[in-house]
């Protein structure tokens, strides 16, 4: 069995935004040369997260708006006493995921509208995006 690892740096531009990183994930899987196996996609951060969903402008704004509604940037948060970004941690904790998807015949199996969306909540920053693939 072969294992393969790639890390990208994604520079976010705003305090809060959604960035489609699907091209990078697909390139990593392609370059791995793995035909059948699985890929794990990790955003190793506590104030940004990854979701699988549609890259559509209105929906991306809906995601940010609804997150802000659930966890407003300003609130009575304990963590803000030391770091002033509790809202970003809470949003990430509520919505974070570490997608693991099958690779079949060299292609990542995912839904038509499942793009890899990085949700930034404490930017702008440089974020790491890790793709780990294993298989034959």
Q: Does the footprint of Zn ion cover residue 32 (CB under 5 A)?
A: no
Q: How far is the CB of 125 from Zn ion (least distance, A)?
A: 12
Per-residue CA distances from 124 to 18, 48, 78, 114 (Å): 12, 11, 23, 25
Output 78 or 112, the one with its CB closest to Zn ion: 78
Q: Does the footprint of Zn ion cover residue 16 (CB under 5 A)?
A: no
Instruction: Restricting to residues 76-95, name those near Zn ion by CB under 5 A.
Output: 83, 85
Q: Does the footprint of Zn ion cover residue 49 (CB under 5 A)?
A: no
Output 92 or 115, the one with its CB closest to Zn ion: 92
CA distance 46 to 43: 9
Q: In what order do the strands lie in the sheet with 107-108?
A: 2-11, 126-135, 37-42, 100-104, 107-108
Footprint on this chain of Zn ion (rule: CB under 5 A): 83, 85
């Amino acid at each position: 069995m072969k294992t393969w690892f790639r890390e990208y740096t994604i520079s976010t531009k705003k305090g809060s935004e959604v960035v489609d990183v699907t091209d990078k994930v697909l390139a990593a899987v392609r370059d791995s040369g793995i035909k059948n196996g699985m890929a794990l996609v990790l955003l190793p951060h506590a104030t940004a997260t990854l979701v699988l969903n549609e890259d559509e402008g209105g929906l991306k704004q809906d995601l940010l708006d609804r997150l802000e509604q659930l966890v407003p940037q300003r609130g009575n948060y304990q963590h803000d006493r030391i770091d002033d970004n509790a809202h970003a941690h809470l949003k990430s904790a509520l919505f974070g995921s570490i997608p693991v998807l099958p690779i079949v015949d060299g292609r990542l199996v995912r839904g038509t509208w499942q793009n890899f969306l990085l949700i930034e909540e404490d930017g702008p920053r440089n974020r790491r995006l890790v793709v780990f693939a294993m298989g034959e």
